[in-house]
Amino acid sequence: MTSRIKTVIAGTAIAVATLGVAGVAVAGGSWGRSVGPDYTYGTPNPFADAKAVVRIVQTGKGKSHVTLRVSGVTAAAGQTFGAHVHQSRCGDVGTAAGGHYQHSGATGSLEEREVWLDVTINKRGKAITHTTRPWSIDRSTPRSVIIHALPTAADGNAGARLACIDLDGD
């Protein structure tokens, strides 16, 4: 079963203020705030009635700060779900988003070349996570965040795709 929910974008100033980052210069603007999920995949699905918010701020120092916040998740407290920035937009099937986005100039471990955002659900069905990468996410192609069924393993695998949030630019 697949559902379609509207994506919302907020301006750069709102994204920076919400993250509490003072004095951040934004190079080329910010992705802003994307709300979803735009699609959920499979039933039963703990994200079917959930809300997910992704904020990406690209700083003047060439860094990307990415935050994922979820609420309304119907999973057991303590359950962890893998989440990653993916190469393409969401679609009717989870594979439409392509593989994990990898920054072409990044070096180091797989996690350091990608954007991993695993979330652990609390007893209220909520979770928040964030990461900062020392490079800017390439905005030449629309991207998304996929939430997976399992925590991310060292090889990047995280199980079935459960939910997808489109990352809209400007």
What is the CATH classification number for the domain harbouring 117?
2.60.40.200
Evaluate whether residue 6 is within a structural domain.
Answer: no
In a domain, 4, yes or no: no
What global pTM score does this model have? Answer: 0.81
Q: Answer whether residue 7 is part of any domain.
A: no
Number of domains in the chain: 1
| Residues 119, 68 contacting (CB under 8 angstroms) | yes
Q: How many Cβ atoms are within 10 Å of 16's Cβ, its own excluded?
A: 21
Q: Is residue 75 part of a domain?
A: yes
- 95 in a structural domain: yes
Q: Which domain holds residue 66?
A: 12-167
Give the span between the Cα atoms of 31 and 76, in whole angstroms. Answer: 31
The answer to whether residue 41 is domain-embedded is yes
Beta-carbon count within 10 A of 101 CB: 21
Note whether residue 134 is domain-resident: yes
d(Cα 85, Cα 65) in Å, to the nearest integer?
12
Lowest mean pLDDT across 57-61, 101-105, 110-114, 157-161: 57-61
In a domain, 52, yes or no: yes
* pLDDT tens for each residue of 68-91: 999 999 999 999 999 999 999 999
Give per-residue pLDDT as tens, 21-52.
322 333 344 567 899 999 999 999 999 999 99
